[in-house]
Amino acid sequence: MYNFRYLLGIAEFAAMEAGKAIMEVYRSGEFGIMMKPGDSPVTNADRNAHAILTEHLEKTNLPILSEEGPGIEFVKRRSWEYFWLIDPLDGTKEFISRNGEFTVNIALVRRDMPAGGVIYVPCIDAMYTGWRDTGVYKKEKGRLTSFPPRAERNRLENLLQRGHITVAVSRSHLSEETKDFTARFKNVSLRSSGSSLKFMMLLEDQADIYPRFGTTMEWDTAAAHAILNISNRGVYQQDMSAELRYNKPELRNPYFIAL
């Protein structure tokens, strides 16, 4: 039987250590930028954070699937009951542009759903953590804030009837589909951010909905998805028929709506 408090404690410590390494590169300006297939950038910070996270998470003897790690065939992954799904530096473009909107994402996934999540924001030393036995909380500069689960989940049809809503959108990827989607609402304010911080806007009631009609991967969403689920929020496929699933043969997410 797993001690999940212990596992998430390791994940929190690993995220903080990775965050320190990220900030060292951030302050130095020596980013070492390279382009991966698909024209997405990777930096020394991504690589250093990956090495630190894997060093700590390997102590749990659970498999690790990382954006910056080697690809692992589905024929091997499909037998995993629990595993770590990590994005060592979510928001690399924001990191390069120096706007501070980047995170370290660590999810504990059970089969095809995220069971727990840790999101660390190095620039402001803030940590979001969620697990069903502990609930959801945020640690920021010595302050602890708890987020009780919502009494009931938001529903898209209810948001469409509201007089005003706030929509979280990507700072780097505002697609035409997103613009068309937001046009369905009566009165809309847009709040842009990078990385998993858009999901955390929902948690902190700074936004009502986050639609994403663009490419994302499982490691981009899993940690935030776990935290939102535990707070009684959801990350749904575009047609709202079901939530996102994980450890698929193809690790790309479908378009989604979080609320």
Q: Report, at the CATH architecture level, how domain 4-147 is classified.
A: 2-Layer Sandwich (3.30)
Q: Which of 112, 127, 151, 141 is nearest to 242 (CA)?
A: 112
Is 163 in a helix, a strand, or coil? coil
Helices (H) and strands (E) in the chain, counts: 8, 14
**Burial zone of 116 (CB within 10 Å; 0-12 exposed, 13-18 middle, 19+ buried):** buried
Beta-strand pair 143-147/135-140 = antiparallel
Reported as a single tens digit per residue, the pLDDT across 106-159 is 999 999 999 999 999 999 999 999 998 899 999 998 899 999 999 999 999 999
- Whether the per-residue pLDDT at 172 is higher than 80: the answer is no
Round the average pLDDT of the chain to a whole number and report it.
Answer: 95
Find how far residue 253's CA is from the centre of its chain. Answer: 13
**Which residues lie below 8 Å from residue 91, measured CB to CB, with a gap of 6+?**
101, 102, 103, 194, 195, 196, 197
Q: Is the pLDDT of residue 215 over 80?
A: yes
Residue 171: pLDDT band (50, 70, 90) is confident
Q: Which CATH architecture has domain 156-258?
A: 3-Layer(aba) Sandwich (3.40)
Residues 117 and 96 sit within 8 Å (Cβ to Cβ): no
Q: What pLDDT, on the 0 to 100 scale, is given for residue 170?
A: 86
Domain boundaries, the chain: 4-147, 156-258
The pTM for the full model equals 0.97
Q: What number is the average pLDDT over the span 43-67?
A: 98
pLDDT tens, position by position, 146-157: 999 999 999 999
pLDDT tier at 39, thresholds 50, 70, 90: confident
Instruction: Tell me if 241 sits within 8 A of 136, measured CB to CB.
Output: no
* Residue-level pLDDT at 175: 82
